[in-house]
Each structure stands twice: as structure tokens, then as C-alpha cells.
Amino acid sequence: MTIPFTRAVRRVALALPLLWTALAVAPANAQSLQDQIVGTWTLSSVYDQHEDGSRTNPWGDGVEGQLTYTANGRFSLMIISANRPPSNGPPPTPIGPALGYFGTYTVDRGAVVHLPERSTFPNWQGHDRPLMTTVSGDQMAQTAPAIGPPGQSYVPHLNWTRSR
């Protein structure tokens, strides 16, 4: 009876160092959402998903954008439609659909929360903008809270690819 027990103890004793090594290495390799988002991202797609499941692209074909997160908690975002007509005015007067804003950000329970300091859409200045965020390799998906009244609301979706 003691031989099988002794073999079992030996097997456990041999397996424990491997288990401890695996447990020690796994958390060190896992990156937090904060660490995963740092860098520059290029907009790969954007759409609004409506309550009935339909999708629309409010920016039109050819929309481009860029989003940058710094390690010290700053961000900058720009989204600009294509096919905008030339402007007859000065540069401070944008033409066509364009959104730009910058400020600080925090990460909280799967959301990257933007706190815009300045925005081409002034209503966002000084208000938290939580974006549920997932990162998989060089792809990042973000969804904003629903916009609009019940029955007519939609959820903005932003998909990004890490810039190289």
C-alpha cells in the first residue's frame, strides 16, 4: 500500500515546481487594459447600431481617424469624413463632418473613460465619455453609451487597428 502512495507523493512533488512556475509567469505576462491601449490607433471601421439591430455609418465611405493613448493618461482623437468640399474660410472653420477632442483618460472595469478638455463638439467638454473597450492583439473595439431617447437610440461602435 505504501508504494502507490509514495509514487503519488513523488509525482506531486515533481509537478509542484512546474505549477508554481506557471502561476508566477502567467500574471507577469498578462497586460492590463491600461497597458494594452497605450500607443496610436488607426480607425478601421465606425458604425452606429440601432435598437432594431440595423447599422448605419454616420461618417460616410472613406472616413479616417486616429486615436492616441499615452502611458501617463492623456489621449487625442480625430475622426474626419472623406469627400469634404474645399473651404473658402480660414483653417479654424472646419468643413464637413469632423470630430476632434483631447484630454485625460482613466481605465475602469473594462471601460476607457475619456475626460475631454477641448472638443470640436463642445457639449463633451468636462464630461466623462466611457467607452467599453476590448483589445485583441492589434485590434481594439470600443462602444459608447447609447445616444438618443428610448425607441430611437443607437450605440456608436469604433474599431481600431494599432498603427505600426
State pLDDT tens for residues 3-45. 554 554 445 444 434 434 334 434 445 789 999 999 999 999 9
CATH number at residue 114: 2.40.128.280
How far is the C-alpha of 134 from the C-alpha of 110, rounded, in Å?
Answer: 7
Residues of the chain with pLDDT under 70: 1-29, 94
DSSP annotation of 3: H
**SS3 call for 19:** helix
Looking at the fold, whether 23 and 40 belong to one and the same domain comes out as: no
Looking at the fold, whether 43 and 113 belong to one and the same domain comes out as: yes
pTM above 0.85, yes or no: no
How far is the C-alpha of 14 from the C-alpha of 39, rounded, in Å?
Answer: 42
Looking at the fold, whether 45 and 94 belong to one and the same domain comes out as: yes
Whole-angstrom CA distances from 104 to 21, 42, 54, 73 are 38, 19, 33, 5
Looking at the fold, whether 113 and 135 belong to one and the same domain comes out as: yes
Cell of 62: 472613406
